[in-house]
Amino acid sequence: MKVLVVGANGQVGKHLVKMIQDSEHMEAKAMIRKEEQASYFNELGAETVVVDLEDDIETISQAYEGVDAVVFTAGSGPNTGPDKTVLIDLDGAVKTIEAAKQSGVNRYIMISSFDTTREAIQGAPSSFAPYVVAKHYADDLLRRTNLNYTIIHPGMLTNDEGSGQVEASEKVERGEIAREDVAGVILSTLENESTIGKEFQVVGGTQSIKEAIDSL
């Protein structure tokens, strides 16, 4: 299985590409924004493609050539304004969904925010609300497609070393999770077809990642 990692140069994306390259049955295609970001992925033996999420759908679709699944891990980041949140976290996600439909890539995994419900939007601080809104509508669009989707809602991300142990369910208590463990969850989700059509929250816990994903 060849997996297109959108937002590969992000912290979760880098962990994920390495894990995919280390796996026996998958290979990664890293979608990056700048050619100078390619060296990390070249050292892993991963294919790279330079595409900007602000490009049009046709341009983004070119990255899907030879791909069996796509993982959206991109984000505008905490230091940008609402304009970039709309362009990347909402419109960028929507365009990658449309590109998947046009390209016939049916497996799509969305890395969302922990809670993207209408209630979460209403309760979010003004600085965070645009991000929750963006994720809410991107998630909603994905649910309405015929794609074989999974939506993952991770807790507060940390740069701690991954423990390999998580708690995953439709609803869990808020908590933290290492970015490395989020990547491990994505890998396990790709390996498990029973996750198709499901969405779940995930935080650090006491179950192995495989056991947690298998029990969904």
* CATH assignment of the domain containing 85: 3.40.50.720
The amino acid that residue 71 corresponds to is V
Say if CB 150 and CB 131 are below 8 A apart.
Answer: no
For 36-76, write each residue's pLDDT tens digit.
999 999 999 999 999 999 999 999 999 999 999 999 999 87
For 111-169, write each residue's pLDDT tens digit.
999 999 999 999 999 989 999 999 999 999 999 999 999 999 999 999 999 999 999 99
Count how many domains the chain has: 1
Distance CA 115, CA 19 (A): 26
211, two tokens: 């056991």
| DSSP 3-state of 55 | coil
**CA dihedral over 124, 128, 133, 135, signed as positive or negative:** negative
pTM: 0.96
- Amino acid 76: pLDDT: 78
Concerning whether 137 is annotated as a catalytic residue, the answer is no
List 64, 131, 137, 149, catalytic entry: 131
Q: Which domain holds residue 150?
A: 2-214
